[in-house]
Chains A and B, each alone.
Chain A
């Protein structure tokens, strides 16, 4: 595909062949295909992705999606940071569900350390709880933003209001509203705050009301359905072949959820359903996400009931920093603290691929360790890249206006996609 402007202008000079009168009844005169930039700076392009469209009128005949505008060298940076220092970078991967990235990365390193079975149960429950909260906030942002791009601004702000409650609670736990860095290798940085459980229950009750409101505004809204139904259909085979997972894959009927198929943390003790779509269109992606939020709320309620008191970090001085009181008062703890901070946690040489269910699907971390405190290689499998790649196959034949809901429901997150 050539986007050289001069090529187009030459094409413009081509004289159309003489056509006989019979052509007058042809259903449509051919329109000239024009190249058009959609993005990187376009309201529907979630910040930074460029689509070079070939459009005939408003119909897309070809599309070239160019990602990388938000490339921040995550993988290269990770090679120069200690294992603990990478947590803040993971926050910036999928920046609408940072907790899930935290969890995914921590679990990868723990697997490499061989302590993945030793993580205290309370820490595992906490990871599930904050992770599912992040999943709800992820889906709220996605659905809200998708609706806003279709003009339903009110639904968007309702969703954001509910998301803000969740983020406030996560801020209370971790100290940061968005860039939590709450996980530590071997557990979580701090126990849940006092009053966390009642507040979370309260948030769940209020969020259900918000979701019901949004449901009334959108789900049976004729205009919304017309924009979503039957648009941007992903089929199951394509999803499997391209590696599309998560809500997008599930909406196409690909019944794969890491939490169910390869249970990690304590997901095998929790009872939840995995919603599967039947058509794979935008509306299915919307509906799957709505149902996933309900299921996440179920998970949260069960986890809150099951969680027991206990430590939140493994008891291993090679991995976990000594307590602050120790650090300030004993030379051994001071040295241990210094070594972990300066050299990092010594991870034995080896490689690992660990995967969890992120907001958009299978979030994998592939880490190669060389025995030092810094990874030799840290590679992320971002769940939204395959879906964005598959868009090149889905978008041709649709309208420019259809790009908006289709792209919105993919939930491409620049930080994660471009890393």
Chain B
């Protein structure tokens, strides 16, 4: 049983976990080392925020455009859907080899088309149009290009 320890999925995940722990430890040690090495003479001026050299106007936290939430929602839906498609993708070759290729293709197509439909919906709804500046290029005909007036 021990011989196959390397092949255990638990072991592989354990390695990944060890990696995570060591990465965090590495960062922690680095930060700690920095803390010990660097000077710390905080004063009031150093504690101000940078707003281009002037006293900040108003607070630092503001209400931002709800569009960001919409993008986050759309992302969530799309990303989850993409993640759900991965298992189908991995078995696709096997199914094609087994002769069930058409079925697998239809499944993938259904998944992907739902996604495309969702994209089209969001697109038509105008949620993908980020704020457009109010400046379209004028349709004014070009004036004389050279020469003295």
Contact = CB atoms under 8 A, between A and B. Distances in A.
B51 A37 contact: yes
Given A37-B52, A41-B52, A27 B133 contact: no
A203 interface: no
Given A34-B58, A37-B52, A230 B149 contact: no
A229 interface: yes
A399 B133 CA distance: 7
A276 B144 contact: yes
Nearest to A257: B148
A278 B141 contact: yes
A275 B143 CA distance: 10
A255 B135 contact: no
B63 interface: yes
Contact of A278 (B51, B133, B142): B142
Contact of A230 (B62, B67, B137): B137
Interface in A202-245: 229-233
B136 interface: yes
B137 A59 contact: no
Contacts of B56: 5, 37
A397 B135 contact: yes
A194 interface: no
Interface stretch (A50-58, A71-79, A303-311): A50-58
B1 to A, nearest CB: 58
A38 interface: yes
Chain A residues touching B, majority SS: loop
Given A31-B63, A37-B56, A279-B140, A274 B135 contact: no
Given A34-B58, A232-B135, A279-B140, A274 B147 contact: yes
Interface string A17-44: 0000000000111011011111111100
A279 B146 CA distance: 15
Given A3-B57, A34-B58, A37-B51, A279 B138 contact: yes
A5 B143 contact: no
B59 interface: yes
A361 interface: no
Q: How large is the interface on B (under 10, 10 to 19, 20 to 34, 35 or more residues)?
A: 20 to 34
Contacts of A232: 135
Interface string B113-149: 0000000000000100001011111101111111111
Contact of A274 (B52, B58, B148): B148
B54 A253 contact: no
A31 B64 contact: yes
Interface in A378-413: 397-399, 402
Nearest to A402: B133
A49 B17 CA distance: 52
B53 interface: yes
A28 B65 CA distance: 8
Contacts of A5: 56-58
B128 to A, nearest CB: 13
A57 B149 contact: no
A260 B148 CA distance: 6
Contacts of A402: 133
A262 to B, nearest CB: 11
B66 interface: yes
A330 interface: no
A278 B64 CA distance: 37
B52 A398 contact: no
Contact of B53 (A8, A36, A41): A41
Interface in A1-20: 3, 5, 8-9, 12
Given A27-B126, A233-B138, A256-B149, A40 B54 contact: yes
A122 B57 CA distance: 57
B58 A398 contact: no
A116 interface: no
A261 interface: yes
A275 B145 contact: yes
Contacts of A397: 133-135
24 contacts: A3-B57, A8-B59, A12-B59, A28-B65, A28-B66, A29-B66, A35-B57, A35-B58, A36-B51, A37-B52, A37-B53, A37-B56, A40-B53, A40-B54, A229-B137, A230-B135, A230-B136, A256-B149, A260-B149, A273-B146, A275-B145, A278-B143, A397-B133, A399-B131
Given A5-B58, A397-B135, 8 more contacts: A28-B65, A28-B67, A32-B63, A42-B52, A50-B54, A253-B143, A274-B148, A275-B146
Give the 8 A-B CB pairs with smallest separation, nearest first. Answer: A41-B53, A278-B142, A230-B137, A273-B146, A57-B65, A35-B57, A397-B134, A8-B58
